[in-house]
Amino acid sequence: MNRYIPENAETRNFPSAAIVAYCYDTGRGAAFLAYKGRQSKPKQHAAFSTVEGRDRALASLVEQHESMEAWKRERKEAQHGLEVGDIVCSVWGYEQTNVTFFEVVRVPSGRSATLRELEAERVEDAPHSMAGTATPKPGQYAQGAKDQTRRATGLHKLSGLKSWHGDAQKWNGKPCRVTWYG
């Protein structure tokens, strides 16, 4: 690791925020240089007219990064709470609204689930309206559907797959709105 460390700097470690700060005197005032994790580029380099001002700014930086690290830990340890047979859906699209349904076919752990895409029944609101609803057909898998294992991102939520956009969440049992054109 090639980091710049000022001469006569006091090292302050904040492991819960993954921050290492070097506090020093510039001759004009107090300053600190803070690094995050193993980065060689400083996260923040600032000078202040007083030691108290420097310490307040450093405390604020550490507090911000402690909350970010806590959020990362929560996300990493998230449990999905899904069971085999549950249906999850992913609603996505730009100029149209699409929905893709999946059935949970295996639960390897509380933090991951294996899904298989389901066929869906699409009902148009009115002829040529290009809008309607979609509902899954449990047990009827899409042609060529392959099992895909996904990580939990929260209760009843799974991360997005490479073949579809957005996270998947447990289906609430109500028909989902869809739109299309062409």
**Structure tokens of 122?**
């699409």
The confidence score (pLDDT) of residue 156 equals 72
> 3-state class of 65 per DSSP?
helix
The confidence score (pLDDT) of residue 119 equals 95
Quick one: average pLDDT of 53-75?
93
More confident residue, 118 or 93: 118
Residues above pLDDT 70, as percent of the chain: 96
Q: State pLDDT tens for residues 149-176.
A: 888 877 777 776 665 667 888 999 999 9
The confidence score (pLDDT) of residue 14 equals 96
Tell me the average pLDDT of the chain.
Answer: 89
Paired with 50 in beta bridges are none
Residue 101 has pLDDT above 80, yes or no: yes
127, exposed or middle or buried, with CB in 10 Å at 0-12, 13-18, 19+?
exposed
Unique residue bearing structure tokens 């991102």: 153
Quick one: average pLDDT of 82-90?
92
Residue 148 has pLDDT above 90, yes or no: no
The confidence score (pLDDT) of residue 67 equals 96
Paired with 130 in beta bridges are none
The confidence score (pLDDT) of residue 73 equals 86
Residue-range domain boundaries for the chain: 10-76, 87-179
The confidence score (pLDDT) of residue 137 equals 95
3-state helix, strand, coil in the chain (%, to 5): 15, 45, 40
β-strands 87-92, 148-154: how paired?
Answer: unpaired
Cα pseudo-dihedral 29, 32, 33, 38, rounded to 10: 170
The confidence score (pLDDT) of residue 164 equals 60
